Structure 1
Amino acid sequence: MIDCPCCATKIEGYALPDQLHKLRDGEVVLYKRPESSRWQARFKLPDGAWHNLSTKRASLDEARRIAGEAYDEARFRFKTGQSPVSRRFKDVARLTIAELENAKAAGHGKAIHKDYKQALEKYFIPYFGSKHIDLINDADMMQFEAWRAQQMKRSPAASTLLNHNAALRRVFETAIANGWILHAKVPAMRAVGRKSERRPSFSYDEWRKIGNTLWRWVDKATSERSKQIRELLWDYVMILANTGMRTGTEAYNLKWKHISWAKDRNGDPYLSVAVDGKTGKREFVARHRCETFFKRNQSRFPELAKMSFDELLKAKLDVYVFRMRNGKRSENLYKVFNDYLVEHGLLKDKQGDSRSLYSLRHMYATTRIVIDKLDIHTLAVQMGTSVAMIEKHYSHLTAAMAADVLAGRRHDPEKAAEGRKAKAAANKPPA
């Protein structure tokens, strides 16, 4: 590394006089790094800032042409109020994805980053890919919204749009940080989507049917692998339904070390479960019957079965809970549960909406509100969501629960007359 002869900064690089060339009155400098045969370029703009780029050429004449064209374009962009140097959207998006993956590898990534990556790869990169990021404007965004709705075959929900906007915002933040777009040039992002519909759940009778048929369905498996997946599904369904845990990241990554005994204010024990999912790390209370389901899961593994349940929890094993007997983890539980629902006539609810494993979480919320009379603030903490989200999807239940109080006692004229007669007789003075 030596001083650049044109400015006070350092250049990684060149060692011989013939590896340094100037053009445009010294405003553009070409140089080679010792380990490379290709020419690098630096150029200076009217604001005094120097910019770097690779010409990707070994030929000096070609490198001169490319560097000169890049310099002229950068000057034009500077004069017209644009970022002097830009990048294509796909390059910035892939850099952003790499940053998200690096954060995950370093241990401080978030579960939502998986959704960001999916949105970028499935929608934004295919549409904006080759367009320079600083040239994307409000009109482009509106055209993209129409294209995305066409790809989805429906208008996306507002929650989906918020996730997509967050992903796109990360890309623009990367571009701003690298000087590839000016902050003022970032286009507007809208999040006006269709309202989220009431989510499909299971009624009490339907849940009883699941409880009475799922274990029999396990025994009907026609192969060892099928039986192991169905066994795993049985545990998975029962635990989801009795915890409100999110299927996917929260449940899939649950390990035995995350489960422990705790005591309530009366000193009675309960199972506390720690998860790391969509809303970050949290702990929740499992219903007492989950002890049976966790023990059943434990009994399928010889290395775990030799311990008591208490010993297993105290061991804090770094071992996944939801595994098949052979120790492998299955990502087919969504499909297997769908097959079960179809076979038992439980796939569609009364509105014709398809149920899934996520419907167990909604059933949990419904049951806690209707049967346990749990207040929505406590339920929100338990489920790792906001009070606003609980109110949005389950407020109809709290209103129904309070209907008997709000309406008062039903008026019955005959009973009222009988009541008046009884009261008068009771108040009649003795003869």
Structure 2
Amino acid sequence: MAESHSILGGKVRVYKRSSSSVWQCYTYVKRKKVRTSTRETSLALAKEFAEDWYLELHGKIRRGEIKNEKTFADAATLFTTQYAVMTAGERNERYVQNHQGRLTNHLLPFFGTKGLSEITPGLLQEYRVLRRTPDENGKVPAHSTLNQEIVVLRQVMKTALREGWIGHLPDFSTPYQLSRKITHRAWFSPEDYKKLYQATRRNAKEAQGKKWQWAAEQMHDYVLFMANTGLRPDEANNLEYRDVSIEQDGGQTILVIEVRGKRGVGYCKSTAGAVLPFQRMVERNAPAPTDKLFPAYHRKGFNRILEEEGLKYDRQGNRRTAYSLRHTYICLRLLEGADIYQVAKNCRTSVEMIEKHYAAHIKTQLNASAINVRKRTRAQS
């Protein structure tokens, strides 16, 4: 049996269990029982503690320091647990981890203690303004970075909506936002691509007998492989030899690749130009089936070649990276008249994305005879 005493007109009870020498106390806040230990063995001291605890508790409630509703942190915890389970095998593990990083580094420090009803369009705008304010180095996050954070915020709030913790989603639209200019992805034109692979081939020959020979040969094959498959760099980094097979298709020898990336598992069929680089890598590395095709990053060597050959920027001033090899694959396929739907499917993207970011490069896709149509008119006498 527990010994119990009432104080403050019955608002707080101090009690001690028969198995313990320490007094505890409890009260009710919005019909919810709140309790704590006084850590006192003396009843008099325990009552003093309970009075101070009760007054401090209600002071925090009046100041809004204690929420009587679920907080953003509660919804974020549930979202993190559910998202990892529901996207297993469908989303790249790194993509899921990046979502968690955005929560931990930016969203939770700002929204974490806020009640879900406090997540209003005004508060969202405060967050945007805070993130777009330059730091001590004068840097601000890119538009795409901030947009990804808002995507995670929206997912957390949708989790709260499904649980019935809120009645509706706040407005996530960005005030004062004009239609954004469509940016075209940096790629290598046929002339620039030829200049690039000739430079990497020359670099590999000059490295013969030197300690960086393997790295130079791998980088040359990397450039050819990427430009003939359209893989994203992260997809190529995840690629194992067992994921690639040489097959005959439509009278051509090509690579059939099982791709694991941000879109989960998909398939890619290369052009014939990817076969020889792959065969060279097999001969050079004598790999086990689970070995990575590209166990080392070639960022420094690749950037050095671009700088030396004057290829680091395209004519619009866009910076070229390894991702530009994927863009080159897509543009070259379109230049050669490939079906845009098949290209999108092979690259695990959408027709809309290709039309928006790539097709503007392809001037030969414009049909002059269809554009310059003129109505026939009677000859004037």
TM range (shorter): 0.7 to 0.9
Q: Quick check: 119-128 or 291-300, which moved more? A: 119-128
- The corresponding residue for 1:386 is 350
Cα distance in structure 2, aligned partners of 1:367 and 1:21: 83
Counting aligned pairs with the same residue, the percent is: 26
Q: Quick check: 60-69 or 235-244, which moved more? A: 60-69
- The corresponding residue for 1:172 is 157
1:16-415 alignment, distance < 5 Å: 17=2, 43=28, 45-46=30-31, 50=32, 58=39, 66=53, 84-87=68-71, 91-92=73-74, 95=77, 99=81, 103=85, 107=89, 109-110=91-92, 112-128=95-111, 134-151=117-134, 153=139, 156-157=142-143, 160=145, 162-173=147-158, 182-184=166-168, 186-190=169-173, 192=177, 194-218=180-204, 226-248=212-234, 250-262=235-247, 264=249, 266=250, 270-304=254-288, 317-323=289-295, 330=296, 332-370=297-335, 372-397=336-361, 400-407=364-371
User: What residue identity is the alignment partner of 1:379?
Assistant: V
Per-residue deviation, 1:210: 1.2
| Deviations 1:337-379, CA, capped at 9 Å, x for gaps | 2232123221111122211111111111110011x20121111
Cα distance in structure 1, aligned partners of 2:241 and 2:105: 35
Check 1:284–1:196 CA distance in 2 against 1; reply closer, same or farther (3 A cut). Answer: same
The answer to whether the 8 A contact 2:25-2:35 is kept is yes
Cα distance in structure 1, aligned partners of 2:247 and 2:290: 20
Q: Which runs of 5+ in 1 are unaligned?
A: 1-15, 305-316, 324-329, 410-431
| Deviations 1:246-292, CA, capped at 9 Å, x for gaps | 112x111111222234554x576532111122222211111122121
Q: Which runs of 5+ in 2 are unaligned?
A: 41-45, 374-381
Cα distance in structure 1, aligned partners of 2:339 and 2:13: 68
| Deviations 1:281-340, CA, capped at 9 Å, x for gaps | 211111122121111111232455xxxxxxxxxxxx2332212xxxxxx3x433442232
User: What residue identity is the alignment partner of 1:247?
Assistant: P
The answer to whether the 8 A contact 1:27-1:44 is kept is no
Check 1:269–1:218 CA distance in 2 against 1; reply closer, same or farther (3 A cut). Answer: closer
- The corresponding residue for 2:43 is none
- The corresponding residue for 1:310 is none
Cα distance in structure 2, aligned partners of 1:297 and 1:40: 71
User: What residue identity is the alignment partner of 1:172?
Assistant: M
Cα distance in structure 2, aligned partners of 1:300 and 1:273: 20
| Deviations 1:94-130, CA, capped at 9 Å, x for gaps | 7368537954996565453244234334543454466
- The corresponding residue for 1:309 is none
Secondary structure in 1 matching 2:354: helix
Secondary structure in 1 matching 2:358: helix
Check 1:220–1:398 CA distance in 2 against 1; reply closer, same or farther (3 A cut). Answer: closer
User: What residue identity is the alignment partner of 1:291?
Assistant: V
TM-score normalised according to structure 2 size: 0.73
Secondary structure in 1 matching 2:233: coil
Per-residue deviation, 1:216: 2.8
Cα distance in structure 1, aligned partners of 2:101 and 2:161: 22
The answer to whether the 8 A contact 1:38-1:55 is kept is no
The answer to whether the 8 A contact 2:80-2:100 is kept is no
User: What residue identity is the alignment partner of 1:45?
Assistant: K
TM-score normalised according to structure 1 size: 0.66
Cα distance in structure 2, aligned partners of 1:29 and 1:284: 69
Check 1:107–1:365 CA distance in 2 against 1; reply closer, same or farther (3 A cut). Answer: closer
Check 1:383–1:130 CA distance in 2 against 1; reply closer, same or farther (3 A cut). Answer: same
Per-residue deviation, 1:203: 1.5
The answer to whether the 8 A contact 2:256-2:267 is kept is yes
The answer to whether the 8 A contact 1:138-1:188 is kept is yes
Check 1:68–1:300 CA distance in 2 against 1; reply closer, same or farther (3 A cut). Answer: farther
Flag the structure with more relative contact order, 1 or 2, with Cα contacts below 8 A and sequence separation at least 6.
2
User: What residue identity is the alignment partner of 2:345?
Assistant: V
The answer to whether the 8 A contact 1:83-1:134 is kept is no
User: What residue identity is the alignment partner of 2:343?
Assistant: L
Secondary structure in 1 matching 2:124: helix
The answer to whether the 8 A contact 1:141-1:187 is kept is no
User: What residue identity is the alignment partner of 2:2?
Assistant: P
Per-residue deviation, 1:84: 1.9
Check 1:21–1:225 CA distance in 2 against 1; reply closer, same or farther (3 A cut). Answer: farther
Check 1:267–1:139 CA distance in 2 against 1; reply closer, same or farther (3 A cut). Answer: same
RMSD: 4.5
